Structure 1
Amino acid sequence: MADIVIVNPRFNTSFWGMERCMGLLGKRANLPVACLPLLAALVPKHHDVTIVDENIEDIDFARLGRADMVCVTGMTVQGTRMREILKEVRARGAFTVVGGPMATVEPEELEDLADVIFVGEADLTWPQFINEWEAGRHACRYEQHDKTDMTTLPPPRLDLLKSQRYMFGSMQISRGCPFTCEFCDIIVTFGRKPRLKSTQQVLAELDAYYREGIRIVFVVDDNLIGNKKAIKPTLREIAKWQEDHAYALTLFTEASLDLAEDDELMSLMGKAGFQSVFIGIESPDEASLRETKKLQNVRERAGTLVERVKRIQDSGIDVWCGMIVGFDNDKPAAFDVLPGFLAEARIANALIGLLHAIPTTPLFDRLKAEGRLNDAAGSENFGTNVIPLGMSPGMLRDGLTRVTENSYSADAYFQRLDALFVDGGFKFAAHRLPYWRNHRLAWAKSCFENYVMFLVLATRLVLRVEDRGLAHRYRAQLLRAFRARKFEPQLLFTYAVKTAMHYHYDAIAKSLSASAGGPVPESVRSFSRARSRDTSDRVTTVGNGALH
């Protein structure tokens, strides 16, 4: 029996990580990387497995030094810390293994620091390696060439996570995306044919989260609706599960904008308990969308970008989005257009980052051929490795600072939030109302719990926020929301969470402004690099290989 430790390095402060407001929410991190319990589940049962997530606990290097095997996984934005951990563990004589998205797209950066490296998905190669390691004949590099059959995956070892230290849980239903966005590495890693778990697997994982006491779960699929026909039966069964459990779980996920073109799909997601969806809009400029081959966002018959966003909102699903600046088509004016677009679309939460060319992507290959890759990716370019075409690096830097400040000033943020949540009459869970009408006791319990959570968080925001000007603003916003929507406690609690998130965004914007003319904060470089794929920088972290 071997002692195996799986380590996830800490992330630097990032836009999506919500580090500044985690204390207000009573948690240490937003969510666990979903690959961690899956990797543990793939280890033969006769071995002992420990999960160490540096985002919620300190690493005991003496403990790692005593392990038979230390496995490190992470994204490129965790790269510096990954290297530090691997060096320290090897210096203590431990056997080291590394995998994850960084190992997949930049293996040369890590292979000299580990005894074994994994490239790509590792659902097959990881247990294969352990069997060979036991027999004393393992290889130094493993690369899985066949795509994983998702229906063969075991249930994740959620029992090994310190779940109560996270704000959300994380689970995966599918891998792959049918689209061809030039900057995105999803189709390179996962392929263009979405692969789904069975409905039985999904329901079993919901049961597991329910038993663990987790009530909010992020479905980390890069595009949950990549195969619309296949996901609909699963959504129907999730909706039945939710009714059987009095809608105990709140879900949110990522999807493509063509969700707005399928009324049945939006209805099913609402009934299944999906409260929010993250969509890669990328740019309000059609020329930039066409340039990056984001053609699913450019469909005249489907309506404008804003019309499609509002269609999703009208179905009772809140829209978050990712925006990218620095496309070849972008000029300095692009930074001034973006805040107005977000206001018109009533999107409060928008992750704004610079275009970054990830190795293995078509964008990387094109820019390399054109001699437009900045290998240093230093502070002048805010960490991006793309040499801009329509502006100077200085303009790019100033533009990102300006658009972040303009989009996340308190006035701009709460104008967007109130336009949807207060003045817009937005209705969470519109498709679930028939259930609540027939289950009044369950509805009353849910209302009570959400009122309590709203009051607790509102009190913390008013009393604990150090910037007293912001604290007074938050108090005014929370009172306004309460007066307008006092009989909708789920919406009030979500409003309070979004208010707490502004505290984090404000810190990011101030850090960005303070860096003007000097070194760029790692938090800025982190979210800029990670946002160049059609996902968020924290939520869809890939594990040992391409496991979410």
Structure 2
Amino acid sequence: MKITLIKPNIGRREHSLYVDNASMEPLQLGILAALTPEDIEVVMYDDRLEPIPYEEKTDLVAITVETFTARRSYEIADEYRKRGVKVIMGGIHIKLLPEEAEEHADSIMIGDAESQWGNMIEDLRRGELKERYICTAPKVPQKGILTRRSIYEGKKYMPISLLQFSRGCGFNCKYCASSVYFEQHHYTRDIDEVVAEIKSQKRKLLFFVDDNIVANKARAKELFRALIPLKVRWVSQGSIDMLDDEELMKLMVKSGCLGLVIGFESIKPESIENMRKGVNRKFVADNYKEAIEKLRHYGLQTWAAFTIGHDTDTLESIRATYEFARRNKFTFAAYNILMPYPGTPLYDELKSQGRLLYDGKWWLHPQYKFNYTAFIPKNMTPDELTEAGFNCRRDFNSLGSVLYRLFEPRTNLRGPVRFFTYIIYNPVFRKEVFEKQGMTFGCLEKDEDERKLEGNLDPAGHRQENQ
């Protein structure tokens, strides 16, 4: 028996799939491979890097689906099913919209797969695959499972190993799909197993893909103590309240942390209140001055993540956000247009107000483009918000900005490792600004109905009657 695992692409530029030269290993597929009995052959194809061999014989195709990859995932699933191959889908988008996914799959897995993957395998052997597998959240994620990294061999991934210490986040930001998926819970792995996984692979540069690695500060301290003897270097995502715990921060630095993705989200206190990100309330009050000083003190290179397009935002405040990030010489920054993910409070709010564009399903709409606005903002047009986001990304990653931000002595110039991290990755993200902007979801070419639909859309892909 053979199972084929698929990591879908986002979409295409012009007539061909976008090739992502900065792809990282799809950790979730390595875990599924590890959950699969050894007598079953497992192969993995990454749609971001390589063509999918649809004609290759297999007994089951398993596709991991995110909202951004949903349209392409359904295309891949439909292509396999035309050939009589069974398809199962899982991932965050499947839990958010199971009925939608069922139109393209023989089976779906709702939630993290650990509790049901083995049962699904036995049903597959008997030819009795169920339409749905409802998974219970594991209190201890990835228990007894070491990621099967052999499936990544021969593929051109970035030289960094992905792994996970925890899943979920206890916060309830109204735009966050992860908090909906994990139902505001946070779970941590056995630290001994995390250490064993690190030792089982060769790299010393690690990326913990946790939503918030410091959500449980006591457990995070245990992890950091365990990492110190391993002499690794690592990055992850963490909430800004970690800076209130001096012991935590010292252990973090000593354990080899280079820096973190931190959700600053906004420099406006009213925006923080509106999005329900209470953890940032204290820090935004002084325009994050105390927080930034502490990050520099600890030598952490910060990827500052912002969301733009809140009802409290204006074009002027969005530009001020760009200037704030440049002035503070963050190593990286993201300016993410607010996305109404299905199932989130934000989506429900905008839907009730009649403010959703693209018929409310931007992730499937043939005219939606990556990094475009999918709703009607309060204080600007959709096109103005799209342009403002692009301008922030373009200017922050301009050559002048990259050079200016380099000269931050306590972070970007704090030793050769941090210097080379800055020098190597800033050009990668600069390139992505232009290559990913305006990408169309999916790969299939437009049909006649889609071309007719274009007559009712403006150049940015928004329905004119909604403007």
Whether TM-score is above 0.5 comes out as yes
Aligned equivalent of 2:58, options 54, 58, 67: 67
1:402 corresponds, among 391, 416, 421, to 391
**What is the rounded CA distance, in whole Å, between the counterparts of 1:226 and 1:425 in structure 2?**
24
1:44 aligns with 37
- Is this contact kept in 2: 1:172–1:221, CA < 8 A? yes
Q: Secondary structure at the match of 1:265?
A: helix
User: Which runs of no fewer than 5 residues in structure 2 stay unpaired?
Assistant: 440-457, 462-467
Residue identity opposite 1:504 in structure 2: K
1:202-229 per-residue CA deviation (whole Å, 9 max, x = no partner) reads 001101222xxx3322100000001001
1:286 matched to 2:269: yes
In the alignment, structure 1 residue 316 sits paired with structure 2 residue 309: no
2:304–2:325 CA contact under 8 A, matched in 1:
no
Query: Quick one: which amino acid aligns to residue 217 of structure 1?
Result: L
Aligned length: 433
SS of the counterpart of 1:62?
coil
Unmatched segments (≥5 aa) in structure 1: 23-27, 243-248, 429-487, 521-548
Give the equivalent residue in structure 2 for 1:183.
175
- Kept in 2, the 8 Å contact 1:111–1:117? The answer is yes
Match of 2:237 among 254, 262, 266: 254
Structure with higher RCO (Cα < 8 A, 6+ apart): 1
Corresponding residue for 2:5?
6
In 1, are the aligned partners of 2:208 and 2:234 still within 8 Å (CA)?
Answer: yes
**Matched-pair identity in %:** 27
Map 1:195-234 → 2, pairs under 5 A: 195-210=187-202, 214-234=203-223
d(CA) in 2 for partners of 1:358, 1:181: 12
Shift of 1:509: 8.9
Judging changes above 3 Å, is the alpha-carbon distance between structure 1 residues 302 and 226 closer, same or farther for their aligned structure 2 residues? farther
Name the CA shift for 1:329/1:150 in 2 (closer, same or farther; >3 Å): same
Q: In the alignment, is residue 371 of structure 1 matched against residue 312 of structure 2?
A: no
Contact 1:306 1:345 in 2 (8 A): no
Structure 1 residue corresponding to 2:330, chosen from 347, 351, 365:
347
Per the alignment, in what secondary structure is the counterpart of residue 279 of structure 1?
Answer: strand
Contact 1:319 1:347 in 2 (8 A): yes
Alpha-carbon offset, residue 501 of structure 1: 2.5
CA separation of 1:385 and 1:143: change in aligned 2, threshold 3 A: farther
Match of 1:490? 417
Normalising by structure 2, we get a TM-score of: 0.85
User: 5 Å matches for 1:465-480?
Assistant: none
Query: 1:325 offset after TM fit, Å?
Result: 0.8
Equivalent of 1:307 in 281, 285, 290: 290
Asked if the contact 2:331/2:405 (under 8 Å) is kept, the reply is: yes
**Contact 1:125–1:143 at 8 Å: present in 2 too?**
yes
**More helix by percentage:** 1
1:507 corresponding residue in structure 2: 434
Partners of 1:29 and 1:55 within 8 A in 2: no
User: Residue 358 of structure 1 contacts residue 364 of structure 1 at CA under 8 Å; is this kept in 2?
Assistant: yes
**2:295 and 2:126 mapped to 1: Cα distance?**
54
Q: Cα deviation per residue 1:71-109 (whole Å; 9 max; x = unaligned)?
A: 111212112221221111111111111111222222233
Q: Which has the higher strand share?
A: 2
Distance 1:379 1:49 in 2: 34
Q: Which letter does structure 2 place at the counterpart of 1:33?
A: P
1:326 aligns with 2:325: no
Partner of 1:53: 46
Does structure 2 conserve the Cα–Cα contact (< 8 Å) formed by 1:310 and 1:345? no
From the superposition, tell whether residues 314 and 385 of structure 1 become closer, same or farther in structure 2 (CA, over 3 Å): same
1:456 matched residue in structure 2: none
Report the Cα offset of residue 44 of structure 1: 2.1
Give the distance between the partners of 2:321 and 2:436, measured in 1 at CA: 16
1:189 & 1:12 partners in 2: Cα distance? 24
**How far apart, CA to CA, are the structure 1 residues paired with 2:107 and 2:137?**
20
User: Counterparts of 1:381 and 1:199 in 2: how far apart (Å)?
Assistant: 38
Residue 3 of structure 2 aligns to a residue whose secondary structure is strand
Which of 133, 144, 154 aligns to 2:135? It is 144
Contact 1:37 1:160 in 2 (8 A): yes
Whether 1:235 aligns to 2:224 is yes
Query: Aligned-pair distance for 1:12?
Result: 4.3
Assess, with a 3 A threshold, how the Cα gap between structure 1 residues 13 and 335 changes in structure 2: closer, same or farther. Answer: farther
